[in-house]
Amino acid sequence: MEREEVNIQFSKSTDYALHALIHLAHSEHRHNIGIKELSATLGVSESYLSKVMSKLRRDGIVRAVPGVNGGYELARPAEQITFLEVIQVIEGRQQLFECSTLNSQQHRLLAEEGAAERDRDCQGKSECLVKKVMDGAEEHLYQYLREHTIQSVLDEAFQR
Amino acid sequence: MEREEVNIQFSKSTDYALHALIHLAHSEHRHNIGIKELSATLGVSESYLSKVMSKLRRDGIVRAVPGVNGGYELARPAEQITFLEVIQVIEGRQQLFECSTLNSQQHRLLAEEGAAERDRDCQGKSECLVKKVMDGAEEHLYQYLREHTIQSVLDEAFQR
DNA sequence: TTATTATGGACATCAAAGGTCCATAATAAA
DNA sequence: TTTATTATGGACCTTTGATGTCCATAATAA
């Protein structure tokens, strides 16, 4: 009874990624910020942060150059990098909610009231009533995360 | 490279809980729906669904009575049971986002611009710029989930 | 009293998060 | 062209939590 279960939460990797990108954006006059500086700034190991940065690179959010004076920089203007995009790159693109129950429950409901012509499958189709609400919630959340960018955070930091 | 990582997602338990509650609400003329009927309806094992139902009972969402003809029923009207409440009971009440990075990043930003009088801690305080956005996202999501209840889903099922 | 139903503890399994280490590739500077 | 430096990716490890089963016990109505 010591620990409550933990579940619906963004991963630490997402945290690292967002903070790293903000640091890059804030240092844009300089070029090629190395993993050493990034990991020291965030207080995270170089080896782990490297993995996160590699993902960001593979998805075209940052550019990376090896070698002396190498490092990372944003691949695009900070106002074109949304929170949603970063989160999806790191967390993957699965949906907030997947229906795992049988097709029985909600379809019995529908069938009994004479809407029996609908599909018979609850797995991911739009027929599941619970999923319908959750999909709405997801779109709601995503819309918010689309409206916030790396740049908008910087703007806010400088009280405007 | 076969499986993409899976992360930010509601658990199956939440799925089970929501579907079970809808079934209870839809059967409110009858009383005490047993775990047998519930598990058969959802296509889930009795033993596992029991755990989920116990959680719902401990948090006052359903009532349970053991013994012959025992079972579960809603402890409150279906319009007073929100999606958010169910989710929080099952998933726990941690936040969508916890800041894991050092206090350095965002405070260096603030400090450089002369806002140095703020706290020095990024762990969960409102000072972290990333966390501020994520908290906003969370509140956005929660507001939506508060507006949807077990009853509202039933209403929708009966096309009104 | 008895059959029935819910409860909770103890386990088991499995996948994913989080993290480390190292060999290799790439690059710029010397 | 070497060399020092930096990123990359594979292999591996540990911990945690989700999912699930089983069983003994408690509670309850018939």
Express each pLDDT in A80-110 by its tens digit. 999 999 999 999 987 778 788 875 445 445 4
Strand C contact nucleotides, protein CB < 7 Å: 3-9, 15-22, 25-29
User: What count of Cα atoms within 13 Å lies in the side-chain half-sphere of residue A153?
Assistant: 31
User: Which residues from the 2-21 window of protein chain A have CB within 7 angstroms of nucleic acid chain C?
Assistant: 11-13
Residue A127: band (very low, low, confident or very high) from pLDDT cuts 50, 70, 90: low
Place of tokens 């919630």: A137
Evaluate if the CB of B107 falls below 7 Å from strand C.
Answer: no
Which chain A residue has the Cα nearest residue B153? A129
Evaluate if the CB of B102 falls below 7 Å from strand C.
Answer: no
Mean pLDDT on B105-120: 44
From the CA of A102 to the C1' of C29: give the distance in Å.
Answer: 64
From the CA of A15 to the C1' of D15: give the distance in Å.
Answer: 20
Annotation: CATH topology of B12-93: Arc Repressor Mutant, subunit A (1.10.10)
In our burial notation (b when 16+ CB lie closer than 10 A, e otherwise), range B18-53 reads: bbbbbbbbbbeeeebbebeebbebbebeeeebeebb
Residue A111: band (very low, low, confident or very high) from pLDDT cuts 50, 70, 90: very low
C-alpha dihedral (B116, B138, B95, B21), degrees to nearest 10: 170
pLDDT at B96: 79
Residue B107, pLDDT > 50, answer no
pLDDT at A101: 83
Nearest to A138, CA basis, from A98, A95, A101? A95
- Cα B74 to Cα B62: distance, rounded to the nearest angstrom: 4
pLDDT at A4: 32
CB contact at 8 A, B157 and A129: yes
pLDDT at A153: 94
Residue B110: band (very low, low, confident or very high) from pLDDT cuts 50, 70, 90: very low
A53 part of contact set with chain B, CB < 8 Å:
no
Place of tokens 């942060």: A49
The residues that bridge with A73 in the sheet, in sequence order, are: A63
Q: pLDDT: is A125 or B147 the higher one?
A: B147
* Stretch among A24-33, A86-95, A107-116 having the lowest mean pLDDT: A107-116
pLDDT at A120: 38
Hey, which residues 91-120 in chain A have their CB within 8 Å of chain B? 91-102, 104-106, 108-110, 113, 115
Q: What's the CA angle centered on A91, arms A87 and A97, to 5 degrees?
A: 100
Q: Which residue has its C-alpha nearest to nucleotide D21's C1'?
A: B47
What would the DSSP string read from start to end of chain B?
Answer: --S----S---HHHHHHHHHHHHHHHTTTS--B-HHHHHHHHT--HHHHHHHHHHHHHTTSEEEE-STT-EEEESS-GGG-BHHHHHHHHH-S--S----S-SHHHHHHHHHTT-TTS-S--SSSTT-HHHHHHHHHHHHHHHHHHS-BHHHHHHHHTT-
pLDDT at A56: 98
* Stretch among A73-77, B7-11, B39-43, B74-78 having the lowest mean pLDDT: B7-11
Question: Taking CB atoms and an 8 Å cutoff, what residues of chain B touch A149?
Answer: none
From the CA of B87 to the C1' of C21: give the distance in Å.
Answer: 40
Residue A62 φ/ψ, nearest 5 degrees:
-125, 160
User: What count of Cα atoms within 13 Å lies in the side-chain half-sphere of residue A121?
Assistant: 5
Q: pLDDT: is B125 or A7 the higher one?
A: A7
Evaluate if the CB of B20 falls below 7 Å from strand C.
Answer: no
In the predicted model, what is the mean pLDDT of chain A? 83
pLDDT at B82: 98
pLDDT at B160: 56
A63 part of contact set with chain B, CB < 8 Å:
no
What residue spans in chain A does CATH classification 1.10.10.10 cover?
11-82
Mean pLDDT on B27-31: 88
CB contact at 8 A, A27 and A33: yes
Residue A79: band (very low, low, confident or very high) from pLDDT cuts 50, 70, 90: very high
In the predicted model, what is the mean pLDDT of chain B? 83
pLDDT at B159: 62
What is the CATH code for A11-82?
1.10.10.10
- Cα B99 to Cα B110: distance, rounded to the nearest angstrom: 17
The residues that bridge with B49 in the sheet, in sequence order, are: none
A4 part of contact set with chain B, CB < 8 Å:
yes
Mean pLDDT on A12-26: 96
Q: pLDDT: is B31 or A72 the higher one?
A: A72
Mean pLDDT on B52-56: 98
- Cα A67 to Cα B37: distance, rounded to the nearest angstrom: 65
Longest dimension (CA), chain A: 71
Question: Taking CB atoms and an 8 Å cutoff, what residues of chain B touch A8?
Answer: 8-11, 87, 91, 96
Residue A30: band (very low, low, confident or very high) from pLDDT cuts 50, 70, 90: confident
- Cα A157 to Cα A94: distance, rounded to the nearest angstrom: 31
